[in-house]
Structure 1
Amino acid sequence: MHNQVMLKLGGSVITDKAGNDVIDRQQLAAIAAALKESEFSGYLVHGAGSCGHPEAHRYRLDQGADRSNAVGIGITHRAVSGLNRAVVEALQNEGIDAIGVHLLDSCLADDGRLVSAPVELLQRLTALGITPVLHGDVVLDRSRGACIVSGDQVISVLAPQLSVGRVGLATDVPGVLSDGQVVRTITPSDVAGLSIGASSTVDVTGGMQGKIRELLALAGAGVESHIFAVSRLQDFLHQRDHGGTVVRMA
């Protein structure tokens, strides 16, 4: 269904990334209300923020896993799953039928990239009017033992397979910033000329630079994406100018 939307909530939007497992429940409630008002239909993805990044970093899961650090898989997954439950509960409190879908349970990676995902399961959920809520997670990896798969990779891999019509990323900044200014459009030919800073907090998935790499891959698959401030969520949902960045091929 090409009228469906895939929306990603940045980890920094729904948690305090400078804290430790600090969920912004007031923000979640406001987002859920906006989604209800707009009659949101599609797939929701969220980042980990302070509920997962510190744990993954502590156990070096971004570098892989073996018996020496495998205990970190469960600890990291527990942190991100707790955040996922909070997102799902916020949606359900607004009357949105939502179910959490965990990558650790349903996906496999190889050398840091997803090679299998529950596409049919997700399609069947939305066909029933249920909103699947996916998230960045630790995933078992054929080559590395385990790896961290960001919410941005989830989008770049799954959006084309699910044939979604629009992709949006709600963040804590107004768009992609280069030298303090919002870059309104990014194409593959623009990247070399951009000056994009790294995240100031622990981020094992590459921060804004990692996000852009994933979204350029998505653009290459024929799907453009929108990056905007969470305060402009309603503008994106109602297809108005959100003042942010559009990532596309040309």
Structure 2
Amino acid sequence: MKREDTQIHIKHATLMPEEKAILRLRLFEYIQSSHQEHPLFRYGRFWLFLRVATSGVVGIVLMGAGMSYAAENALPGDMLYAVKVEVNERLRTWAAVSGEAQAEWSVVRTTRRLEELERLATTGSLNDTLREEIASRFDQNTEAASKAIVSLKKDRITAAADTSSRLESSLRVHERMLVQVAEERADISSQIHVILDTVRKKAESVSEIRQEIEKEIADADDGVVPIEDTATSSAELLPGQEVEIEVLDKTDER
């Protein structure tokens, strides 16, 4: 048979139905025999992979917890200090949901800055860079504490008074401690006195807030009505209405 005739025969050749069925069956058997499940999803290997992954996650969590715990004793300049202020303290800030909890934590955080300063000054590790870092954080933390106390005053004025009193006491105590450290460490006395001025100013500011809150509590206990409230009430009187005010002279009563 010529080549051209062979090509024409192949082109027009067709399979019988029986041949098609046999070919389809063999193709299906080949697909089934060659199909393999992915190793990851095999029963044994899947659970092995799951155990390894779980162990890795637990290890990371434990390592992070250990690092977080160790960072609590870190000082400015230490490698873990960033973990202390940027991770631990931020988490505690987010965990303080209520206004009272936020105010209490702000007092603790402010005190931590002063304790760090005292530890650095006592060991002679305080320098200009660390002093500026602590002073900046101390200023921010004290401002946040004052705002938290003022905000707490709106709902729980007694708790605000107690918190402001604790903050002021903490500032006064650490002020005296810094004075003592400055006397003992003459080499860094000038750096300590720079922060001492800031501590004194913050203590005075907190004292003013405390006195204002205590005055409001005293006025509320005495039943004193603010002048602006009385003026507002008088302004709301309708035309023709009169208000009778009876003034009793205590000397006459006697």
TMscore range, shorter length: under 0.3
The structure where strand makes up a greater share of residues is 1
Give the TM-score of the pair, scaled to structure 1: 0.23
Give the TM-score of the pair, scaled to structure 2: 0.23
Which structure has greater helix proportion? 2
Give 1 or 2 for the bigger CA radius of gyration.
2
Which is bigger in relative contact order (C-alpha 8 A, separation at least 6)?
Answer: 1
